[in-house]
């Protein structure tokens, strides 16, 4: 029997990137996976490619009625809900190169940040997790237990001067994870967070393109080569992390093998946060 066989999972922001990696691993381990994403067409395509029956729905996860309706539709389609993965979020702004011994990128700091940009980051990265958790809880209680996996970031574990709003939001995700883990333990609902490191996603591709234009040492290099150079200098294990790496941990945390693990924030970062 596969570890997640018979389970139903929702992955928000699962049309591509980390979310798609989580959905793929959970489906390979037997779960029926529903993908909620702003891009409904891509969500449906990603879900259709899964090895188990999947469902892709267009949904803006920071709009509560829309998210609640989508979760209800999933529960009705699959007969309940066992796993909620709050992955949807967005990072905006330059990577903090000072942390890896290079030239710090300009912009994004508190003194330059409009309040609207701050609010947007907290909505996309913290409100989304709060609303996803809130929407899933009644169905997990009906099941007699379940698992919530929140995707935070290593930015929530350490100082990030050029990403202050994003880092604050992800630190909030970690705090919310711990609070909910304690609050809902009597219902056998486990809540954990994953803090990814450096992954080649659309967000990183955009940051690398910006670094190509603004950091002299990266002029003339491709965004992918810039990313790999950052990985080589900043990751102790010397390799990038992948959506599948995050998916493997998410699937484990949602499985019976992790039945006594709750309230944890686990970094999948090749050792970045050890420095």
Contact 170, 156 (CB under 8 A): yes
103: CB partners within 8 A, 6+ apart = 97, 215, 216, 217
For 85, 175, 218, 223, the CA distances from 214, given in Å and listed in that order, are 35, 34, 8, 12
For residue 85, the 8-state DSSP code is E
Within its chain, how far is the Cα of 195 from the centroid?
8
Annotated catalytic residues are 166
- Tokens 């919530």 belong to 148
CA gyration radius for the chain? 18
User: Which neighbouring-strand residues pair with 85?
Assistant: 11, 149
Cα separation, 181 vs 261, in Å, equals: 10
User: Which neighbouring-strand residues pair with 32?
Assistant: 8
And the tokens for 79?
């007969």
And the tokens for 201?
């996603």
């Amino acid at each position: 029997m596969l570890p997640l066989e018979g389970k139903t999972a929702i992955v928000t922001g699962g049309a591509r990137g980390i979310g798609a990696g989580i959905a793929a691993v959970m489906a390979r381990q037997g779960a029926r996976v529903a993908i909620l994403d702003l891009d409904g067409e891509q969500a449906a395509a990603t879900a259709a490619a899964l090895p188990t029956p999947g469902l892709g729905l267009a949904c803006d996860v920071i709009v509560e009625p829309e998210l609640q309706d989508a979760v209800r539709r999933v529960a009705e389609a699959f007969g309940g809900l066992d796993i909620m993965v709050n992955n949807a979020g967005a990072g905006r702004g330059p990577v903090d190169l000072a942390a890896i011994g290079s030239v710090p990128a300009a912009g994004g700091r508190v003194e330059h940040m409009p309040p609207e940009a701050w609010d947007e980051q907290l909505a996309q990265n913290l409100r989304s997790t709060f609303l996803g958790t809130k929407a899933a809880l009644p169905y997990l209680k009906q099941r007699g237990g379940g698992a919530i996996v929140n995707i935070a970031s290593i930015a929530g574990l350490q100082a990030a001067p050029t990403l202050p709003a994003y880092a604050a939001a992800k630190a909030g995700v970690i705090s919310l994870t711990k609070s909910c883990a304690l609050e809902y333990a009597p219902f056998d609902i486990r809540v954990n967070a994953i803090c990814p490191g450096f992954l080649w996603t659309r967000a990183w591709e955009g940051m690398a393109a910006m670094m190509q234009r603004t950091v002299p040492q990266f002029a003339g290099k491709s965004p992918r080569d810039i990313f790999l150079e950052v990985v080589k200098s900043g990751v102790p294990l010397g390799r990038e992390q992948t959506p599948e790496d995050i998916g493997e941990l998410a699937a484990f945390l949602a499985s019976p093998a992790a039945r006594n693990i709750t309230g944890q924030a686990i970094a999948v970062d090749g050792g970045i946060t050890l420095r």
